[in-house]
Amino acid sequence: MRTSTGSGEEHRGLPVLALSALSLIWGYNWVVMKEGLRFCGPFDFAALRVFFACICLFGLLLWKRRDIAPRQVKMTILVGFLSTTLGLGLPMWALVYGGAGKTAILLYTMPFWAILFAWPILGERIKGLEWVAVVLAFAGLVLIIDFQAVGGKLWSSVVAVISGMAWAGSAIVTRVMRRSPEFDLVSVTTWQMIFGAAPLLVIASLVPAPPIQWTGIFIAALVYNILLTSVLAFLLWFYVLQRLRAGVATMGMLAAPVIAVICAAAQLGEIPSLRESIGMVLILAGISLLSILAIVKSRPAS
């Protein structure tokens, strides 16, 4: 009897452990990317990361014996542009001038943009406490972004917010694609990255940047982004979604930007000001509220 109970608790604990590992991988990666940018231009880094990740994900598609032909091609290209070209390229650009923790928090405003975009596109009106979450998010943005700053500092914050918008846009398009019976998440995820990689490779070839310094730190940062952030995190996320409700999974991912802020402070010496700290807390509070509301909505009616 004990063995059976213990086994059940173990199986229930594995998705939580996977979610914790995923948050740690994604959270610490902001420091990894910031370190890697010391030896490589932002678009070169993004292009290399995505190119090799595409190879790994395509291999995963073959391993799972899925149909390798892309589906819903036009929509997948749009997702690739929003999620990969902008969603991965812009944060790297933002990190050149902005702090790792601050950039992570601004990118994670994505849920707020998603519910705003879902209103006109999907007809999902913002209701009740969702308005509170939106207000918290915008109040946090006003505090974090220094609108009196000039040059790279202000531009970094703007680019980070735009990347969050692009990420939200890709989520909305994906939800539209899910309505089709031919939708396959593994195929779409792989092909959107392939389609999104092409513009990144073009941008990397056109934007002037110093030659890549193939140091041990840069190689380690690149390997981390390819194998851990892209491939392992991809597998962990599918595992988590299969065993936890989407709202619970989203709530667990709140740890990623928090880890980014803590690691950036400890390793890079990026200590947020009081104003930025309050803004970060407000944004995280808003995301928490949205996640709780998603959990409540996902519960079956008794």
Q: Tens of pLDDT along 141-161?
A: 989 987 776 677 888 999 999
Question: pLDDT tens for residues 29-85?
Answer: 999 999 999 999 999 999 999 999 999 888 887 887 777 888 889 999 999 999 999
Half-sphere exposure of 236 (CA within 13 A, CB side): 23
Contact call for residues 240 and 19 (beta carbons, < 8 A) = yes
CB-neighbour burial class of residue 35 (10 A; exposed 0-12, middle 13-18, buried 19+): middle
Contact call for residues 83 and 234 (beta carbons, < 8 A) = no
Contact call for residues 213 and 40 (beta carbons, < 8 A) = yes
Give the residue-averaged pLDDT of 159-174: 92
| Poorest-pLDDT segment among 188-202, 230-244, 267-281 | 230-244
pLDDT band at 115 (very low <50, low <70, confident <90, very high): confident
Q: Percent of the chain having pLDDT more than 70?
A: 90
Question: pLDDT tens for residues 18-32?
Answer: 888 988 999 999 999
Please tell me the distance from the alpha carbon of residue 36 to that of residue 51, in angstroms, as a whole number.
16
How many CB atoms are located within 10 Å of the residue 207 CB? Answer: 12
| Poorest-pLDDT segment among 5-14, 154-163, 227-236, 254-263 | 5-14
Record the tokens describing residue 33, joined without a space: 């990317």
Q: 91 pLDDT exceeds 90?
A: yes
| Poorest-pLDDT segment among 27-31, 128-132, 225-229, 297-301 | 297-301
So what's the pLDDT on residue 282? 93
pLDDT band at 4 (very low <50, low <70, confident <90, very high): very low
Residues in the chain: 302
So what's the pLDDT on residue 271? 93
- Report CA dihedral (186, 51, 103, 26) to the nearest 10 degrees: 50
pLDDT band at 123 (very low <50, low <70, confident <90, very high): confident
Amino acid at site 220: A
What contacts 24+ positions apart, CB below 8 Å, involve 174-177? 174/79, 175/118, 175/122, 176/75, 176/121, 176/122, 177/72, 177/75, 177/76, 177/79
So what's the pLDDT on residue 6? 46
Average pLDDT of the chain, as a whole number: 86
Record the tokens describing residue 235, joined without a space: 């597998």
Question: pLDDT tens for residues 173-215?
Answer: 988 998 888 888 788 888 999 999 999 999 999 999 999 999 9
So what's the pLDDT on residue 90? 95
So what's the pLDDT on residue 277? 93
Q: 3 pLDDT exceeds 50?
A: no
